[in-house]
Amino acid sequence: MNILSRAIGNHAWFFRDGTAYTVPSSGTAGRASKPGATDPVYIDLGILEQLQIDPSGVQEQEVWAPSPGQLRLYDVIETKPQLKIMATLVEMSPLSYELLAKTGPLTSASTQYNPLEGVTKRGWLRIQQYDHNDALFNTLEVFTYIRVTNAIAFNDQVVKAEFQARVLHSTLNTGALA
Protein backbone atom coordinates (compact mmCIF):
# COMPACT_ATOMS: atom_id res chain seq x y z
CA MET A 1 0.00 0.00 0.00
CA ASN A 2 1.33 3.42 -0.94
CA ILE A 3 1.41 6.21 1.61
CA LEU A 4 -0.70 9.14 0.41
CA SER A 5 -3.60 11.32 1.43
CA ARG A 6 -6.95 9.70 0.76
CA ALA A 7 -10.63 10.50 0.80
CA ILE A 8 -12.44 7.31 1.73
CA GLY A 9 -15.64 5.67 0.51
CA ASN A 10 -16.91 2.97 2.87
CA HIS A 11 -19.15 0.01 2.08
CA ALA A 12 -20.41 -2.53 4.63
CA TRP A 13 -22.40 -5.76 4.70
CA PHE A 14 -23.72 -7.87 7.59
CA PHE A 15 -24.34 -11.63 7.84
CA ARG A 16 -26.43 -12.80 10.81
CA ASP A 17 -25.05 -15.35 13.26
CA GLY A 18 -26.83 -18.70 12.83
CA THR A 19 -27.78 -18.11 9.18
CA ALA A 20 -27.00 -20.71 6.53
CA TYR A 21 -24.53 -19.85 3.78
CA THR A 22 -23.47 -21.50 0.54
CA VAL A 23 -20.16 -19.76 -0.26
CA PRO A 24 -17.44 -21.07 -0.16
CA SER A 25 -19.40 -24.24 0.71
CA SER A 26 -22.46 -25.02 2.81
CA GLY A 27 -22.36 -24.03 6.47
CA THR A 28 -23.93 -21.96 9.21
CA ALA A 29 -22.44 -18.58 10.14
CA GLY A 30 -20.95 -18.28 13.59
CA ARG A 31 -17.85 -17.25 15.47
CA ALA A 32 -15.99 -20.29 14.09
CA SER A 33 -17.65 -20.38 10.65
CA LYS A 34 -17.44 -17.46 8.21
CA PRO A 35 -19.37 -17.11 4.96
CA GLY A 36 -17.48 -16.19 1.81
CA ALA A 37 -17.43 -12.55 0.74
CA THR A 38 -19.63 -13.25 -2.29
CA ASP A 39 -22.37 -15.14 -0.44
CA PRO A 40 -25.72 -13.67 -1.57
CA VAL A 41 -27.17 -13.66 1.98
CA TYR A 42 -24.92 -10.77 3.08
CA ILE A 43 -27.08 -7.71 3.84
CA ASP A 44 -25.89 -4.44 2.31
CA LEU A 45 -26.00 -1.76 5.03
CA GLY A 46 -26.64 0.93 2.41
CA ILE A 47 -25.10 4.36 2.07
CA LEU A 48 -22.58 5.06 4.80
CA GLU A 49 -22.10 8.75 5.49
CA GLN A 50 -19.10 7.96 7.66
CA LEU A 51 -17.32 5.07 9.32
CA GLN A 52 -15.03 5.19 12.33
CA ILE A 53 -12.83 2.52 13.85
CA ASP A 54 -12.13 3.11 17.53
CA PRO A 55 -9.39 1.11 19.29
CA SER A 56 -10.11 2.71 22.68
CA GLY A 57 -11.07 0.79 25.75
CA VAL A 58 -7.75 -1.00 26.16
CA GLN A 59 -6.78 -1.23 29.80
CA GLU A 60 -3.17 -0.55 30.66
CA GLN A 61 -1.16 -1.92 33.55
CA GLU A 62 1.97 0.00 34.38
CA VAL A 63 5.16 -1.73 35.50
CA TRP A 64 7.43 0.43 37.63
CA ALA A 65 11.06 -0.43 38.38
CA PRO A 66 13.65 1.24 40.62
CA SER A 67 16.43 2.96 38.67
CA PRO A 68 18.50 3.15 40.85
CA GLY A 69 16.23 4.24 43.69
CA GLN A 70 13.30 6.13 42.16
CA LEU A 71 10.55 4.15 40.54
CA ARG A 72 10.42 4.85 36.83
CA LEU A 73 7.97 3.61 34.26
CA TYR A 74 9.55 0.44 32.91
CA ASP A 75 6.80 -1.10 30.79
CA VAL A 76 3.11 -0.93 29.92
CA ILE A 77 1.07 -4.09 29.49
CA GLU A 78 -2.17 -3.85 27.55
CA THR A 79 -5.13 -5.99 28.59
CA LYS A 80 -8.71 -6.28 27.35
CA PRO A 81 -8.11 -4.83 23.86
CA GLN A 82 -11.21 -4.02 21.83
CA LEU A 83 -12.26 -2.44 18.57
CA LYS A 84 -15.49 -0.59 17.96
CA ILE A 85 -16.71 0.24 14.48
CA MET A 86 -19.22 3.08 14.24
CA ALA A 87 -21.09 3.98 11.08
CA THR A 88 -23.73 6.55 10.17
CA LEU A 89 -26.18 5.23 7.60
CA VAL A 90 -28.41 7.48 5.54
CA GLU A 91 -30.69 4.74 4.22
CA MET A 92 -33.25 2.81 6.25
CA SER A 93 -33.37 -0.91 5.55
CA PRO A 94 -35.18 -3.84 7.13
CA LEU A 95 -31.99 -4.49 9.12
CA SER A 96 -32.12 -0.88 10.42
CA TYR A 97 -35.65 -1.43 11.74
CA GLU A 98 -34.67 -4.86 13.08
CA LEU A 99 -31.86 -3.32 15.13
CA LEU A 100 -33.83 -0.23 16.12
CA ALA A 101 -36.94 -2.07 17.34
CA LYS A 102 -35.07 -5.18 18.57
CA THR A 103 -37.16 -7.47 16.35
CA GLY A 104 -36.60 -10.89 14.88
CA PRO A 105 -34.95 -11.07 11.44
CA LEU A 106 -36.55 -8.81 8.82
CA THR A 107 -36.13 -8.96 5.05
CA SER A 108 -37.28 -6.86 2.10
CA ALA A 109 -40.38 -9.10 2.00
CA SER A 110 -41.28 -8.41 5.67
CA THR A 111 -44.57 -6.58 6.23
CA GLN A 112 -45.00 -6.98 10.01
CA TYR A 113 -42.67 -7.14 13.01
CA ASN A 114 -42.83 -7.50 16.79
CA PRO A 115 -40.84 -4.90 18.75
CA LEU A 116 -38.59 -6.19 21.54
CA GLU A 117 -39.01 -9.82 20.42
CA GLY A 118 -35.59 -10.25 18.81
CA VAL A 119 -32.34 -11.53 20.18
CA THR A 120 -28.95 -9.88 20.55
CA LYS A 121 -27.57 -9.38 17.04
CA ARG A 122 -24.25 -10.97 16.30
CA GLY A 123 -22.72 -11.78 12.95
CA TRP A 124 -20.06 -11.10 10.38
CA LEU A 125 -19.41 -7.51 9.33
CA ARG A 126 -17.55 -7.01 6.06
CA ILE A 127 -16.17 -3.57 5.26
CA GLN A 128 -14.55 -2.47 2.02
CA GLN A 129 -12.83 0.90 1.81
CA TYR A 130 -12.05 2.62 -1.49
CA ASP A 131 -9.98 5.73 -2.02
CA HIS A 132 -10.87 8.79 -4.11
CA ASN A 133 -9.45 7.02 -7.20
CA ASP A 134 -11.98 4.17 -6.72
CA ALA A 135 -9.17 1.79 -5.74
CA LEU A 136 -9.93 -0.79 -3.05
CA PHE A 137 -7.33 -0.39 -0.33
CA ASN A 138 -8.75 -2.10 2.78
CA THR A 139 -11.06 -5.02 3.46
CA LEU A 140 -12.05 -5.98 7.01
CA GLU A 141 -14.12 -9.04 7.99
CA VAL A 142 -14.93 -9.37 11.69
CA PHE A 143 -17.39 -11.20 13.92
CA THR A 144 -19.38 -8.57 15.82
CA TYR A 145 -22.15 -7.64 18.21
CA ILE A 146 -24.10 -4.88 16.39
CA ARG A 147 -26.70 -2.35 17.49
CA VAL A 148 -28.23 1.05 16.74
CA THR A 149 -26.84 3.63 19.16
CA ASN A 150 -29.02 6.70 18.61
CA ALA A 151 -32.63 7.78 18.71
CA ILE A 152 -33.70 8.04 15.09
CA ALA A 153 -35.61 11.14 14.07
CA PHE A 154 -38.28 10.59 11.43
CA ASN A 155 -38.99 14.03 9.96
CA ASP A 156 -38.33 16.07 6.82
CA GLN A 157 -34.55 15.56 7.14
CA VAL A 158 -32.60 12.61 5.81
CA VAL A 159 -33.03 9.76 8.29
CA LYS A 160 -29.71 8.81 9.89
CA ALA A 161 -29.08 5.65 11.86
CA GLU A 162 -25.89 5.33 13.85
CA PHE A 163 -24.63 1.79 14.26
CA GLN A 164 -21.96 0.41 16.54
CA ALA A 165 -20.33 -2.96 15.97
CA ARG A 166 -18.08 -4.28 18.71
CA VAL A 167 -15.55 -6.73 17.35
CA LEU A 168 -15.78 -10.08 19.14
CA HIS A 169 -12.92 -12.56 19.25
CA SER A 170 -12.77 -15.02 16.38
CA THR A 171 -9.75 -16.71 14.87
CA LEU A 172 -11.39 -15.99 11.49
CA ASN A 173 -11.33 -12.17 11.90
CA THR A 174 -9.21 -10.77 9.04
CA GLY A 175 -8.12 -7.58 7.36
CA ALA A 176 -6.35 -7.07 4.05
CA LEU A 177 -4.61 -3.96 2.73
CA ALA A 178 -4.41 -3.65 -1.05
The string over 74-109, giving b where at least 16 C-beta atoms fall within 10 Å of a residue's C-beta and e elsewhere, is eeeeeeeeebbbebbbeebbbbbbbbbbbbebbeee
Break the chain into its structural domains and give their ranges: 9-177
pTM for the model stands at 0.91
**Predicted local confidence at residue 120, as pLDDT:** 95
How many CB atoms neighbour CB 147 within 10 A?
15
For residue range 119-128, list pLDDT tens digits in order: 999 999 999 9
**Predicted local confidence at residue 1, as pLDDT:** 62
Q: Is 101 left (phi over 0), alpha (psi -120 to 50) or beta?
A: alpha
Give domain 9-177's CATH number out of 1.20.120, 4.10.410, 3.30.470, 3.40.1620. 4.10.410
Instruction: Please determine, for residue 114, whether its predicted confidence score (pLDDT) is greater than 70.
Output: yes
**CA distance linking residue 35 with residue 20, whole number of Å:** 9
**CA distance linking residue 169 with residue 110, whole number of Å:** 32
For residue range 38-74, list pLDDT tens digits in order: 999 999 999 999 999 999 889 999 999 999 999 999 9
Instruction: Please determine, for residue 3, whether its predicted confidence score (pLDDT) is greater than 90.
Output: no
